[in-house]
Structure 1
Amino acid sequence: MTIKELTSNNFDAMLDAHPLLVIDFCASWCQPCKAFEKIMLAAQPDYPEVIFARADIEKEKALAEEFSVRSVPFVMIIKNRTALYADSGVLALKDLREMLDKAKHVAV
């Protein structure tokens, strides 16, 4: 399993192709970001319909600005181009799973 790299160039295409995304806005120096990456990898096998992606805020400044990312990790769950969750900090695996289970049933 892998986490996809999200860029300004592929952002719209990824949103169009995948109705449910988890995005981790991160930085290479951010230790909590690395911890959340492991959590995403742990959840990934149970959610094959979900795309797990990361955007490096140092490389993707425009995306970070667009979503008002002020600190990392900044986690978003997006369904059909609608943000269902957006907040700073690491989500526990249990919390991420609960949110994804709910997101599957939200009509947007």
Structure 2
Amino acid sequence: MATVELTTENFNDVVGGSGIVLVDFWAEWCGPCRAFAPTFEAASEKNEDITFGKVDTEAQQELAATFGIRSIPTLMIVREGVVLFSQPGALPGNALDDLIEQARKVDMEEVHAKVAEAQQQG
């Protein structure tokens, strides 16, 4: 599956769904971002059931600010609308594959229960 360009207009529609979404915050001028791009693209081709999106932090400064992106590349994993992982730095392919497997194994009923509990506590 090809990666999806994420913008302020489509971000919530793409990321707020029921599946797993990997988001790569990047910029054209960023060397590590360009080095990570083929790894991200290869993972998208191996995991066709997952949505892979890219946020160009230069063009989408509002989105980058919303998520507090201070260093790029930053990889974020969202599942069922909940951010499970967000960390700057380019990952090697095997580490990205491992991270994807971990995201698949998360018990989302437990996560949603904890989120609801935290919201009730205010």
Query: What TM bracket, shorter-length normalisation?
Result: over 0.9
Counterparts in 2 of 1:59 and 1:20: CA distance versus 1, 3 Å:
same
Q: Pick the structure with greater CA Rg.
A: 2
8 Å CA contact 2:7–2:60 kept in 1: the answer is yes
Deviation string for 1:2-50 (max 9, x for gaps)?
Answer: 2110001001110234511111111110111111110011112221111
Structure 1 counterpart of 2:55: 55
Q: How many residues align?
A: 108
8 Å CA contact 1:18–1:50 kept in 2: the answer is no
Normalised by the length of structure 2, the TM-score is 0.82
Structure 2 counterpart of 1:102: 102
Structure 1 counterpart of 2:82: 82
In the TM superposition, structure 1's runs of 4+ consecutive aligned residues that sit over 2 Å from their partners are: none
DSSP-derived class of the 1:23 partner: strand
Structure 2 counterpart of 1:19: 19
Normalised by the length of structure 1, the TM-score is 0.92
Question: How far, CA to CA, are the matches of 2:18 and 2:48 in structure 1?
Answer: 11
Please list every run of 5 or more consecutive structure 2 residues that lacks an aligned counterpart in the other structure. Answer: 109-122
1:46 maps to amino acid: K
8 Å CA contact 2:27–2:57 kept in 1: the answer is yes
Structure 1 counterpart of 2:111: none
Question: How far, CA to CA, are the matches of 1:72 and 1:6 in structure 2?
Answer: 16
Question: How far, CA to CA, are the matches of 1:7 and 1:18 in structure 2?
Answer: 19
The percent identity for this pair of structures is 31
Q: CA RMSD in A?
A: 1.3
